Amino acid sequence: MIRRCNSVAAALLLLAMIHPIAGHAGPYEGGDLAFHKKNYEAALRHWRSAASAGHARAQLGVATLYYGGLGVVVDYDEAFEWCARAADQGLPSAQYMLAALYRDGKGVEQDHAKAASLFRKAAEQDVPGAQYSMGLMYFAGQHVVVNYDEAYYWLSLAAGAPGKEHAQVRSTAAYLRDQAAEKLSAEQIAAVKTRIADRVAAAR
């Protein structure tokens, strides 16, 4: 049941989270429309135009097409380059994808410390997949010291992610969260729940 969120489907989910800005029609929106019609070649043409002009979400779109081999041959070097540009502009979903590329050594030399830093940045900005990845890292001791409090915290956040597109993340995170809970005392769980409540209150 324990698994990474590193499939092509997870990458495509990043695009499902992105929607055109109402009232605007340009290269990015044209790419979004083409993507949802599964016309990936057209999506790439539109998005590359916008991406070259510095549009962060278009850069993520180009990265995801190259990562998934949609309309193009899979090219992790291109995926990394465009994803890094979007992440450098502070796009949380791009930071999440870039973290996975560093973790898996796709398009870049494997760097678990860099991956962890980027996962945390994205998780702090409420990217559910990144929150799950943080929880998994702490639960399994993947390049960090095992910490069930931290695991329970991040997995609880991922398990509460809204939207049907996050259903798989929610169910997997909830299962692992319950496993982490078995390692904690009632007092520890209460403390983490207070931390979560404080986070939610601060975000309002």
Tens digit of pLDDT for each residue in 135-174? 999 999 998 999 999 999 999 999 999 988 889 999 999 9
**Nearest-angstrom CA–CA distance, 22 and 201:** 30
**Nearest-angstrom CA–CA distance, 127 and 102:** 17
- Summarize the confidence of residues 57-72 as an average pLDDT: 95
Residue with tokens 């049941």: 1
Is the pLDDT at 182 greater than 70, yes or no? Answer: yes
CB 82 within 8 A of CB 89: no
Tens digit of pLDDT for each residue in 21-63? 444 568 888 999 999 899 999 999 999 999 999 999 999 999 9
**DSSP one-letter code for 89:** T
Burial zone of 160 (CB within 10 Å; 0-12 exposed, 13-18 middle, 19+ buried): middle
Neighbours of 96 (CB within 10 A): 29
Tens digit of pLDDT for each residue in 73-98? 999 999 999 999 999 999 999 999 99
Confidence band of 13 (pLDDT split at 50, 70, 90):
low
Interacting residues of 67 by C-beta distance below 8 A, sequence separation 6+: 8, 11, 74, 76, 79, 83, 97, 106
User: Of 60, 20, 57, 62, which is closest to residue 45 (Cα–Cα)?
Assistant: 62
Q: Where are the domains of the chain?
A: 1-118, 126-204
CATH of the domain spanning 1-118: 1.25.40.10
Burial zone of 157 (CB within 10 Å; 0-12 exposed, 13-18 middle, 19+ buried): buried
**Nearest-angstrom CA–CA distance, 132 and 111:** 19
- Summarize the confidence of residues 176-181 as an average pLDDT: 98
Tens digit of pLDDT for each residue in 110-138? 999 999 999 999 999 999 999 999 999 99
Is the pLDDT at 5 greater than 80, yes or no? Answer: no
- pLDDT value of residue 26: 82
- pLDDT value of residue 23: 47
Q: How far is CA 160 from the centre of its chain?
A: 15
- pLDDT value of residue 7: 45
